[in-house]
Chains A and B, each alone.
Chain A
Amino acid sequence: MSDHPRNRPCTGAQIRPSSSVTSRLGELSRRAALRAMALAAAGVASIGLLAGTLTATAHAGQAAASAGARKVLQMPMRTDGPKSLDPAQGSTQYDNIAVSLMFETLLTFSYANPSVLEPVLLSEMPVRSEGGKVITFKLKPGVVFHDNACFPGGKGREITADDVFYSIKRLADKRNGLKNWWLLEGVIDGLDEYKDEQNKALDSGGTFNYDAPVRGFQKVTDKEFRIVLTRPVYRFLYTLAQFQLSIVPREAVEKYGDRFSFNPVGTGPFVLDQWEPKQRLNVNRNPNYHDVRYPAREAWSREDRRRRMDRAAGQRVPFVDRMEFTMFVQDQPMWLEFQSGKLGYIEVPNDYFEQAFDKRTRGLKPEMAEKGITSHSDVLLDFIFTGFNMADPVVGGLTPEARALRQALHLAVDHGELNEVVYQGINSVYDGPIPVGVPGHPEGGKAPISWTTPDLDRAKELLAKAGWPNGRNAKGEQLTLRYSTSNSEQNRKISDLLKRQIERLGVSFNPVLLDFSTLIENVNNKKAQMFGFAWGSDYPDAENNLALFYGPNESPGSNHYNYKNPAYDALYDQILVMEPSPERTKIYEQMRDMLLADVPYIGSMGRTRFYLMSPWIVNCRPTERTWSWLKYLDVDDSKRK
């Protein structure tokens, strides 16, 4: 295989014929040239004819599509799309998108306000009792699985409490890879023991018994059940909104086994029609979809109402008959397909940002607006940072000198320049680990203790206070730092920039670009002195990010900084069981400020995604916090070209 399969050096190009032949052949040239011209003209005419035929065919196809009056929505998927359509085995954003079309969770984030949870497969929000340790759920009546050969007579049956228990237990089954077990570990009473026992049985040649009881699963009726938690953690409700916890029927998993991913059966608004991995994913409307309505008018913000996002309020969904997703590994074809009006919306690739938006104002360019294209920006729950290993003898520890050293390094970093050079200035820079839009995030991005404005003079003072004046210690040895990050073009740029900025202090800063698994291994083994990472919050609650600094979560857990502060840990234990309230937000702020004083990382930044929408897509306001909103989309075919 080769990209130039026929790329071989030509041979004998310099061989010359005898002069007599050349002269005689010269007489032929005019006639041959005329023939060649005639042939070329015929070729051009043929291509013209073909072009006309194809254009007519394409237009005939479009006319036929509109005559059929089926609403079809074409969408892009960046990269090569989902790896699995089995919720228990999914992990990427693309798995999330695909799974959300065909499956549903008990709860989800509201489309109108993605910070708020709302019931999907439940008739009402779950009720917490016994101090939040016991949660009672009531399933919505009339919700049936897709019609499928796995059911008697091929007719989808109603979901029951057993389906919920079964779907949760699947995450404990090691045959599903256990990649999503972290969502449930230590949360449900008796589930950890169940996991260990059943997997042990598998190891010894037995079976994974899905009928074995779990203490925390209590069935009241087919439609009502309780889940008992090990401790009253509020975030469990957010966990239930994760796509990996979508409800699946046991019959389908048992019928299709390993191929369940290619035969997904859920309760979702769409049914799989065709999945060609890396190419396309087509789904058709689920004719038996339960009664789900478009968010009410009052649920939308004023800004959203101004954009007429409330126009379908109260109407039953889904609106479209079919969704067709195309996978694009390369950005150019996706961009051109969108520009041709063939895709409903796109996430604007970085390289095309300035073609769509004014870089300074971030406003949509007039030529885009003239085509009827609209835009939307979505602030991601991002925490991009440069971490310190607090267990490291040089940069770690909570002594005043160690703190001063980290503070000095932080002040040497110019996040504004980093944002401009690497992210085209579209990121938000903020203090603390709590992302934009989440309670506890500092107003305007600036906390009472702020490090995001660089100050080289103060950085040098702090460095001297730390025992490293001009980057050298009392013995004259230069401070040498090692920074590990994953190998990519973007990280190379970031590393070069950090090196230039930090070395202004007289220290030596040495970036090391590693493959991601080696980086993770080094961080998990506490070998990385400084490391570049990013954290995308699983749910819009600061608890998710504050857990990254909780002492017991030290590496190989999620506390990669190995930050250990008993006062901080005590506050974390406190907030873990609190419901959302101003008191809880106050504690979040207190914890944020403790981190800002101790500086276990240099940061922070959050990305903003920019989207463009075609004039013919309706009800579209993309958000990455959930993908259950795809069912609300509609098309207006009269606005297609």
Chain B
Amino acid sequence: MLSFILRKLLASIPVYLGIVLIVMLCLRVNDPVQAYLGKSASPESIAAQREKMGLDEPFVSQYVSFIGRIVTLNFSEESWERKQPVGEILASAVVPSLAITVPALLLTTIVAIGIALLSAYMRGSITDKALMFAAVLGMSISLLVYVVMGQYFGAYWTAQQGLDVFAISGYEPVHESVPGNWIRYCLLPVIITVILTIGYDTRFYRAVMVEETGRDYIVTARAKGATKPKIMFVHMLKNAMIPIITHVMITLPFLITGSIVMETFFRIPGMGQTLITAINSKDFPLIQAFTAVFAAIFIATNILTDVLYALVDPRVRLG
């Protein structure tokens, strides 16, 4: 197993170096300093900023230096716009994103698996059709509709009725928040994320379950006299976990990056909003660090997925 992990890690190094190279080249197609300071900036101020950022050095030297900073996890470079180390900015933005995405993922996964099991076992029935109809309907409605309706009916209207459960928008860090308030800020975005994603997941998990119901081991279990709940919750769910884990693992990097629309509409200072404001304000160091970190997380998650696969199915290691 160790050699398998090492092999995967070594194989991912050139991939990561290539990604960083492409990102750095793309970010330098148009002069980032000129873009940030504007067309009316004096040549002296542009030169000074370039020097400060090390952008006056040869590209190879910039590349090596940036890789060095990534390896040593040194993100002390200052954001042009916020005058804070980019590492600090990213670290402070991760928690709000996770506060929404992690509960949403857990809830979605648990509920979607439950519905998928029910739907698969009642396949072809009205319940199954109604559940699948609801899933498709949930997927078909735009996120913006959920946000606008959620804020109006979920937060504003319910508060008018005396049920002040959801905040209309905003976020308070846990350590600064009145107990319970933090949950109020997170609740509506979490629910909307669940509603938005549950349709996709339910359909996917149902398909997995349906596929499992045709397997030989189900027939064998039945022949041995296993009870129906045992077939359903023990045998079938256990075997369906491989695609479920894969599906969940693939989404992990996106938990950290958050959602631009959700964070913008709910004023959550997460990674999505941080990235979009960095792009809008042409904050070159922040954009560069964000993309490098995201690429690293993505690759790491892929390796982790492969490792989990290998653990579950030894044939993967041989491949």
Contacts and interface: CB of A to CB of B under 8 A. Distances in A.
Mutual binders A and B: yes
Taking each of B101, B118, B121, B219, which has the highest tally of chain A beta carbons within 10 Å of its own beta carbon?
A: B121
A333 B265 contact: yes
B189 to A, nearest CB: 12
Nearest to A13: B207
B125 A26 contact: yes
A336 B155 contact: yes
Given A3-B143, A55-B163, A340-B159, A16 B210 contact: yes
A67 to B, nearest CB: 14
A6 B277 contact: no
Contacts of A521: 39
A126 to B, nearest CB: 32
Taking each of B78, B180, B257, which has the highest tally of chain A beta carbons within 10 Å of its own beta carbon?
A: B180
Given A17-B123, A326-B267, A333-B168, A6 B162 contact: no
A329 interface: yes
Contacts of A28: 121, 228-229, 232
A51 B200 CA distance: 28
Interface in B104-150: 105, 108, 114, 117-118, 121-125, 127, 143, 148
Contact of B156 (A4, A12, A326, A339): A339
Nearest to B173: A276
A158 B312 CA distance: 73
A2 interface: yes
In which size bucket is the chain B interface?
A: 35 or more
Given A54-B164, A55-B164, A25 B180 contact: no
A604 to B, nearest CB: 27
Interface in A144-169: none
Interface stretch (A93-101, A255-263, A294-302, A455-463): A255-263
Interface string A493-532: 0000000000000000000000001001100000000000
Taking each of A11, A57, A279, A333, which has the highest tally of chain B beta carbons within 10 Å of its own beta carbon?
A: A333
Interface string B186-215: 010000000011001101101110110110
Contact of A6 (B38, B169, B178, B251): B251
A110 to B, nearest CB: 34
A515 to B, nearest CB: 10
Contact of B178 (A15, A51, A61, A262): A61
A54 B82 contact: no
A69 interface: no
A7 interface: yes
Interface string A32-66: 11001001000000000011011101110100000
Nearest to B52: A258
B289 interface: no
B309 to A, nearest CB: 17
A1 B269 contact: no
A80 B108 CA distance: 32
A297 B298 CA distance: 66
17 contacts: A3-B259, A3-B262, A5-B197, A5-B255, A12-B211, A28-B121, A32-B118, A33-B127, A50-B183, A54-B164, A54-B183, A58-B181, A61-B178, A277-B81, A278-B269, A329-B267, A332-B151
Interface of A: 1-8, 10-18, 20-22, 24-29, 31-33, 36, 39, 50-51, 53-55, 57-59, 61, 80, 83, 174, 177-178, 199, 202-203, 258-259, 261-262, 276-279, 326-330, 332-333, 336-337, 339-340, 517, 520-521
Given A15-B210, A83-B81, 17 more contacts: A1-B257, A2-B254, A3-B261, A8-B204, A15-B214, A24-B222, A26-B122, A28-B121, A32-B121, A33-B122, A51-B163, A54-B164, A199-B44, A276-B269, A333-B151, A336-B155, A337-B168
In the A-B complex, the 8 residue pairs with the smallest Cβ-Cβ separation, listed nearest first, are A5-B254, A57-B180, A1-B257, A17-B213, A333-B169, A10-B204, A10-B203, A12-B207
Interface of B: 38-39, 42, 44-45, 78, 81-83, 101, 105, 108, 114, 117-118, 121-125, 127, 143, 148, 151-152, 155-156, 159-160, 162-165, 168-171, 178-181, 183-184, 187, 196-197, 200-201, 203-204, 206-208, 210-211, 213-214, 218-219, 222, 228-229, 232, 250-251, 254-255, 257-262, 264-267, 269, 271-273, 275, 277, 294
